[in-house]
Amino acid sequence: MQEVVEFVLSSIIMVVTPIIFGVLTLDNNIRKDKSKVVVAFLISCIIYSLCYSYFDGGIKTLIGFLLHVFIFNQIFDCKLPKSIIVTFVYVIIAMIVDMLIFIGINILKIDKEYCYDIFAGSLFGNLLVCLIIFVTCIILRNILKRINNSKLENSNNILLISVFTLLCVIILFFNIITNYKSNNSICSYILLIVIFLVIIGNLIKEKIVINDKIQEYNGLLGFMKSYETEIEENKIQNHEIKNQFITIGSMLNDNAPKNKILDYVNSIIDDNSDIDDARYGDLQYLPLNGLKGFICSKLNKAEEESLSVSVVIKNGIEKSILSKLSTSDFKKLGILLGVYFDNAIEASVVSDKKYLGLEIYIDNGNVVIIITNTFGNIIRSSEETNKRISTKGAGRGHGLQLVNKVISGSKLFFVQSEIIGKVYIQKIEVKK
């Protein structure tokens, strides 16, 4: 009875061992459907028990390999090619463990007949193997995770190579173990194992490197295609904008009525809102260089979105650096204000309090512009700019790209963001 219990426990341990390997080295851990996991586990234990009771040698090794493929396929929900590759890696780890056991037997001068006839396959022996594999996986975890979770191209080729390599493993190690019982020389066997592992390791490494390059080039190609598309779209847009400015210039030269010119401009920007005289008065300290009208239009847009708008502009701004900006710098300031106002309005619209604030003052001769807004969406950190920005989804970062382009290497503009509670604060400082 005791022998039966030990045999069953040994079978369970030998099935648990590859599962531990999978948990430590696979990103897609045990599947969520626990009923399938339990069924697969029980089937594996039964097959393992039958296999090691009625088969021996190479056939047993082959069935064991297929059993491990079944475990990774059913318990971890890996596709068949990947299950074979993961099993192949597991076999290599088992080979390393065998090599360590060979060395241990030789160092400790343990009787080989006792080791292979009694100790090997016993409950304690299987526990020891499981423990060594566990420790090996912990030590080599990062390497094994990279191998097992890499997306390899041409999986059929990998599958074919793995099968032929498995045959070599069966022939080589079955002969090594058989001959080792009657041969005291272990150095040649260990040398064969090391050479085999080095060759297989290099092959896997080369395949991963090649696959990483393929992934990199495919990603680069996709980026180039999208970039080319964006360039073509920008060309068309720039052509249209150029024609629109030519039309506006012609209307000015022909002394067209102001209302007609404004109607044409509003039709281009799809904005038919009238400038609020009261709001325009709040901006009285801004210089008369177009900035007042630009900010006024943004504030009107915010009020149309039912936002509560607050404006504080200190005296002296009209004679500050803002009134002395070159055309190029004024254009850059317009980009910064446009992007930040649009982002602030868009974020505040989906918030609970729906607030937008603007404050402009002078600090040591520098003009400080602060735009504040409430927000209701998620705030994340941009890895490229190390600034907190709203999460808006793919294809919505063109404004921030423009901002990065403006402030990159600029000594005139300094931007900084801060979050206090549910209020996002964007600071733009124009250096004197």
Q: Where are the beta strands (DSSP E) in 264-337?
A: 308-313
Question: pLDDT value at position 367?
Answer: 92
In the chain, % of residues over pLDDT 90: 10
Query: pLDDT tens across 334-381, in order?
Result: 888 888 999 999 999 999 889 999 999 999 889 999 999 999 865 554
Residue 152's Cβ-side half-sphere holds a number of Cα atoms within 13 Å equal to 25
As a whole number of angstroms, the longest Cα–Cα distance in the chain is 109
Give the helix/strand (H/E) hosting 424.
strand 423-430
Alpha carbon 109 to chain centroid, angstroms: 51
* Domains of the chain and CATH, by start: 2-184 (no CATH), 288-430 (3.30.565.10)
Question: pLDDT value at position 327?
Answer: 81
Give the helix/strand (H/E) hosting 355.
strand 355-363
- Is 109 exposed, middle or buried, given 0-12, 13-18 or 19+ CB atoms closer than 10 A? exposed
Question: pLDDT value at position 396?
Answer: 43
Question: pLDDT value at position 383?
Answer: 39
Question: pLDDT value at position 123?
Answer: 74
Question: pLDDT value at position 385?
Answer: 40
Query: pLDDT tens across 179-200, in order?
Result: 555 555 556 666 666 676 677 6
In this prediction, the residues of the chain whose per-residue pLDDT falls under 70 are: 1-2, 28, 56-58, 102, 105-106, 109-121, 150-194, 196-197, 200-201, 203-232, 234-235, 270-282, 377-398
Residue 290's nearest CA partner among 336, 254, 325, 316 is 325
